[in-house]
Chain A
Amino acid sequence: MRDRFIFSPWLALAPALILITILLGASLVYGVAQSLGLISVIGANTVSLDSYRNLVTGTGLAGSEFWGSLAFSLWVSIASTLISSVLALLVAVWLSEQRSGNGDTLALNWNLAFPHLVWSIALLLFLSQSGLLARWAASLGLISTPADFPVLLRDRFGIGIILHYVSKEIPFLALIILAVLRTQSTGYDLVAENLGASHWQRLRYVTLPLVMPALLSGSLLVFAFIFSSYEVPALLGVGYPRMLPVLALRFFNDPDLRSRADGMAISLIITVIVLVVAMISLKKSEQK
C-alpha cells in the first residue's frame, strides 16, 4: 500500500513525462550528436569537439561571430529584462493603489494574448521607416519623406528588439507582481504610513521586499525566454550583429551539411545558459 502512495503522483504524470522524455530526449540526443560532428547522412561518423573549439576560440565563420553574438544577446536580454522589470513594478504598484478591481488586469491580459510574432509584425507596420507613423509624419509635413523617420527597428543596437520585449514583458511581470500585492493585506503599508514613512520609503522598505522574490524569479524567466527566442530578433534585428538563436539557425540551414555541427553547438550553448538561469530562478522561488 505504501508503494502506491509513493508512486501515484509519478503514475499520474507518466503519460506526459514519457512523451516529453521521448520527444525532447530524442531530439536532444540528436542535437548533441550533430554538435559533435556526427552527421550520418553525409557519412560523418567521428566524434569531434571542433565546433565548440572553433566557437570558443573565434575561428571559422560561425566562430568569428560567436562572441559578438553572445555579447549582443546578453545586452538585449539584460536591457529588456531590467527595463521591463522596473516599469512593471511601477505599473503594478500604481495599479494596486488604485484598487479598481479586475478591469486593469484585463487590460494587461489583453496584451499577453498577442503572440510575439504578431506583435513584432505590428511594430514593423507602425514604426519602420516605411510604416504607418512614418507615412503619417511625412504626409503631415513633419518630415520630408517617410525615409527620414528615425530608425527604431532593424538597427545595430537592438533597440527595436528591446522595444518589442519591453512592451510585451511589462504586462507579464506586472501581473506577477500584482498577484503578490493583491494577496497581501494592506496592513504593512498602513503601519508604515502611521509610523510616518513617506510614499517612497513605503515603496522601498515595504513593497519592494514583499514582491522581490516573485519579481526576481519572473525576471529570470523573462531573461531566459528573450535570450533563447528566435522570431523577434529575426524580424526586428539586422544582419550583423545577430542574436545567438538567429546565428544558430543560419548555420543549421547552411547548404553545407557540415555546418550543422556549428549551428547545433550554438543551440546547445544557448540551452545550457538558459538551464542555468532557470535553475537559479527555481531556487529563488523556492526560497520565498
Chain B
Amino acid sequence: MIFREVEDRDLIGRARRGDVDAFNLLVSRWERRIYNYLYRLAGNREDAMDLAQEVFLKAYLNLGKLDDVSRFAPWLFRIAHNEAYSMLRRNRPETELTEPAPEFSGPRMLPVEVGLAVERAMGRLSADQKEAVLLKVYQGFKFEEMAEILGCPVSTVKSRLYTALDLLKDALAPANTRGVE
C-alpha cells in the first residue's frame, strides 16, 4: 500500500507537468476500482464505463487542484461519487426498483447463488446506504475518508453503513445459514 502511494505520488507529479503517459499509467492502476464502484452504484456496465471515463477526464483536468497528493484516493472517489449522483438524479425514475426479487430456496447455496443473493440484497438498499457499503466493505476506506468522499459527517457515514449492515444481515440470513462458511 505504501509503495503504491509512493508510485502514485510520482505519477501524479509527472501528470501535473503534462505527461499523459504517466496519467494513463495512473488510470490503469485505479480504473478497476473506480469502474466497479460506479457499476454497483449505476447498476449497468455501459453507464459505469461512461462515468469512469468522465471521472478520469475530470481528474486529469483538475489534478493541479489536488492539495495533498496522499489524499488522491478519496479525492478521485469524490469525483466518482459526484459523477454517479449527477447521473442518478437525471435517471432516477428509470433506476428505481419496481418490484422485489424472489428469494432463493434450497438446502445449500452455491457461491454463485450467494453472489446473486447479495446483489439482490444490495439492490434493496437506498443509494446512500449502498454507497456506504461499497466504500467500506469493497473499497476499504476509513470513516474519515468516506466522510470526505460523501461530503457528510462521520456520524452520518456510520449511521448509513450500520443501518445497511443490519438490513443486509436480515436479507442474507438464509445465505448465511446455508451457503457461507
User: Is this pair of chains taken from one and the same complex?
Assistant: no
Show the binding face of B for A, using Cβ within 8 Å.
Answer: none
Show the binding face of A for B, using Cβ within 8 Å.
Answer: none
